Chain A
Amino acid sequence: DADVTQTPRNRITKTGKRIMLECSQTKGHDRMYWYRQDPGLGLRLIYYSFDVKDINKGEISDGYSVSRQAQAKFSLSLESAIPNQTALYFCATSASWVNTEAFFGQGTRLTVV
């Protein structure tokens, strides 16, 4: 089983719909992240959480919200999806000390039509 699991793996949704992407991890890490990947733009940080009570905005948080339900679960919501949110979304985790390896999930390919 994967250490970082994202659901769904693929999703097509309509403009204006609310959608939630979920992430769960079995690595026991406190820190979790949501990234967005677009061709030619690399990976950009949307939100991150250093523990259950901590939520921080990243580089591109507008139009997104997150919820840290437990140490192992971190979900990303698009309140009202728009076509330019079509992208590949990755959840990642890392240990609590600085400058450690980030472990990524398999990704969720989201298409907004």
Chain B
Amino acid sequence: QQQVKQSPQSLIVQKGGISIINCAYENTAFDYFPWYQQFPGKGPALLIAIRPDVSEKKEGRFTISFNKSAKQFSLHIMDSQPGDSATYFCAASEEGYSTLTFGKGTMLLVSP
């Protein structure tokens, strides 16, 4: 049972373009939604996170949009750069727990 569905599986974007990765969840008890970034040979690292009391959070070129009624959230990378090429994972956790349920990941390639 996949509780967090992530799409697309892979994405190619030109330098300067906008990268968009989407996630959907089913468990209404989820109340924390982080995004992790993983470079080859490295462990995932927290990129940005949001809680359901806000609809959007922006940190630099990275923005999370959150739609509670649709049970969806997305990562937008503005002005995408080759250095953004990595695998991105969305995740979610329930109130009172700290175990994360991850999506299957999106491999992003930003072409020069």
| Same complex | yes
Residues of chain A touching chain B, judged by Cβ–Cβ distance below 8 Å, are: 4, 31, 33, 35, 40-45, 48, 50, 58, 90, 92, 94, 97-107
Q: Are A42 and B44 in contact, with the CB atoms below 8 A? A: no
Residues on the A chain within 8 Å of B18, using CB: none
Residues of chain B touching chain A, judged by Cβ–Cβ distance below 8 Å, are: 6, 9, 31-32, 34, 36, 41-46, 49, 51, 89, 93, 95-105
Q: Are A41 and B104 in contact, with the CB atoms below 8 A? A: yes
Q: Are A104 and B43 in contact, with the CB atoms below 8 A? A: yes
Residues on the A chain within 8 Å of B44, using CB: 43, 90, 102, 104
Q: Are A100 and B41 in contact, with the CB atoms below 8 A? A: no
Known A94-B98, A98-B96, A100-B98; further 10 A-B contacts with Cβ < 8 A: A42-B105, A43-B100, A43-B105, A45-B101, A58-B99, A99-B31, A101-B34, A104-B45, A106-B41, A107-B43
> For residue A9, which residue of chain B has the nearest CB?
B41
Q: Are B43 and A40 in contact, with the CB atoms below 8 A? A: no
Q: What total of A-B pairs shows CB separation below 8 Å?
A: 63
> For residue B97, which residue of chain A has the nearest CB?
A98
Point out which of B43, B44, B89, B93 has the most chain A C-beta atoms below 10 A from its C-beta: B43
> For residue A39, which residue of chain B has the nearest CB?
B105
Given A4, A48, A90, which contacts B99 in the complex, CB threshold below 8 Å?
A: A48
Residues on the A chain within 8 Å of B101, using CB: 45
Bound-state CA distance A90–B95 (Å) is: 24
User: In the assembled complex, how far is the CB of residue B63 from the closest CB belonging to chain A, in whole angstroms?
Assistant: 19
Residues on the B chain within 8 Å of A90, using CB: 43-44
With known contacts A4-B43, A106-B43, A42–B104 Cβ distance under 8 A: yes
Given A33, A50, A97, A102, which contacts B46 in the complex, CB threshold below 8 Å?
A: A102
Bound-state CA distance A44–B97 (Å) is: 16
Given A4, A31, A98, A104, which contacts B95 in the complex, CB threshold below 8 Å?
A: A98
Residues on the B chain within 8 Å of A50, using CB: 98
Residues on the B chain within 8 Å of A98, using CB: 32, 93, 95-98
